[in-house]
Amino acid sequence: MNTFTNEPLTDFSKAENKNKMLAALEKVSHECGKTYPLIINGEEIMTKATIQSINPSNVDQTIGIVSKASKHEAEKALEAAYNTFTLCADWKSTTPKIRADYCFKAAQRLQEQRFEFAAWMTYEVGKNWAEADADVAEAIDFLNFYGHEAIRFGKGGDVLQYPGEKNELVYIPLGVCVVIPPWNFPLAILVGMTSAAFVTGNTVVLKPSSETPVIAYKFVKLLEEIGLPPGVVNYVPGSGSEVGDYLVTHPKTRMIAFTGSKDVGLHINELAAKTAPTQKWIKRVIVEMGGKDTIIVDKDCNFESAVDGVIASAFGFSGQKCSACSRVVIDESLYDKFIEQLVQKAKTITIDEAQKNPPMGPVSSKQAFTSILNYIEIGKKEGELVLGGKKIEKNGYYIEPTIIKDVSPTARIAQEEIFGPVLACIKSKSFDESLAIVNNTMYGLTGAVYSNNKKNLDKAKHEFYIGNLYLNRKCTGALVGVHPFGGFNMSGTDSKAGGNDYLLLFLQAKSIAEKENVPGNSR
């Protein structure tokens, strides 16, 4: 039985927790600027080429200088992972319980270093304390949940028994898994995909985001500390076009787990579909690719709750979640009043360096900063700017919370993923029209409905075509084991991370039938 429970979030209103976070931030600040190697088969490898990780809150601060893999190191990592999977008796003979114990040990170690890991994310990706802490908590949840799930799948599947035979269904690992996580949840999603791979008996080549390679290194070192055998997880940060493509197309790669943009996800899926010479399998691909998430505000709703939910969903972590609300569809009877309240609430959001724990910090990078500002200029032509729309003159990548009203459902800012603090407001004449609007994009990840009308809520359950639907609550904040996460259409393969069937994606089923001895036939 899965005895998993979610990790509680830290209450920073308590002086003890606040002081622990301040101490962790101070400690991490003195460690910023260090150099980090690749880790392949347990060996630390320094390269001439490097990746510089920058603090988006203060671009003059270097978080770390990380060795950058080329195709040569990528090949070495793949060989290490492949040999560990195929030749390493110690790894091949491990039971699901032993592999699960590595997850449980890693979760315990993360709990012990919780504030320090949160501090690293505050510096490296600009998360405020609550967002960084929630990221660590989710990573702990993934480790514990998948550990219990691996033990469950280790017991095999249920099959009918045929007279005269003993029938079994067992689950076995696939092989080498290339894990390519995103920058926006640099610990939680990385830990989720990586642990799902190794706890099911696969080996991993981990290519983290070039924006957050330091936090990835810290977790790989944690795995070393708990005794995970060398070669099971190999750490090779590098460029997507060189190292990423090489890993995806390699004939010894058995599967790819990716979370990131639609364009990159489709590119990976296309590359993986091509069979390389000497390749013995059809590669399995998990891609989670973002969304254009919408909240419906029905005419019969809890007004204040809806306003708060939209604000939290749109501007939490500066709108840099694939589940963030980037469109709100409002019934015409509430439209003007609702936007007025949204603007008033958003005006109270303070923006500052993430280390100071503001409600909103910077966006992640110069590239994101430029892209978001370009979308705002597009939005000004497609609707009426009622709040924000400007960069903030600080030594980082800061953008004001931005609200644009009177946006057409087919406008670019209503269709394309912006991944920043930009909210498009759309007027609707009826609930049926609202449903038609929310389903008019190529995505299908998350969304929410605020309504007191049970008939409309029931209709949304059937007709709101997304992977994660929330009723009368915000559309962000999925919990492992509670809200299995993954979307439809161009949001990805609906892998349902943190759900009871997720580990099946990293396994293959083997049916075994043994004929029973018949008396008198044996010699």
Across the strands, what pairs with 256? 178, 285
Give the C-alpha separation, 45 to 47, whole Å: 7
φ, ψ for residue 113 (rounded to 5)? -110, 25
The residues, ordered by sequence, that sit 6+ positions from 203 with a Cβ below 8 Å of its Cβ are 81, 82, 84, 85, 91, 175, 176, 177, 197, 231, 232, 233, 234
The answer to whether residue 288 is catalytic is yes
- Indicate left, alpha or beta for 315 from its phi (over 0: left) and psi (-120 to 50: alpha): alpha
Query: What stretches of 228-293 show up as alpha helix (H) in DSSP?
Result: 245-249, 262-273
φ, ψ for residue 397 (rounded to 5)? -100, 75
At 441, list the tokens: 């994009």
At 177, list the tokens: 């898994």
Annotated catalytic residue: which of 116, 288, 353, 417? 288
The answer to whether residue 322 is catalytic is yes
Give the C-alpha separation, 142 to 411, whole Å: 37
| Residue 203 to residues 230, 427, 506, Cα–Cα distance (Å) | 10, 50, 11
Give the C-alpha separation, 489 to 468, whole Å: 13
Across the strands, what pairs with 233? 204
Across the strands, what pairs with 64? 34, 53
Annotated catalytic residue: which of 322, 325, 425, 475? 322
The residue type found at 280 is K
**Local structure of 310: helix, strand or coil:** helix
Q: Answer yes or no: are the C-beta atoms of 193 and 182 closer than 8 Å.
A: no
Q: Output the 3-class SS for 115-177.
A: HHHHHHHHHHHCCCHHHHHHHHHHHHHHHHHHHHHHHHHHCCECCCCCCCEEEEEEEEECCEE
The residue type found at 382 is E
The residues, ordered by sequence, that sit 6+ positions from 523 with a Cβ below 8 Å of its Cβ are none
Catalytic residues: 288, 322
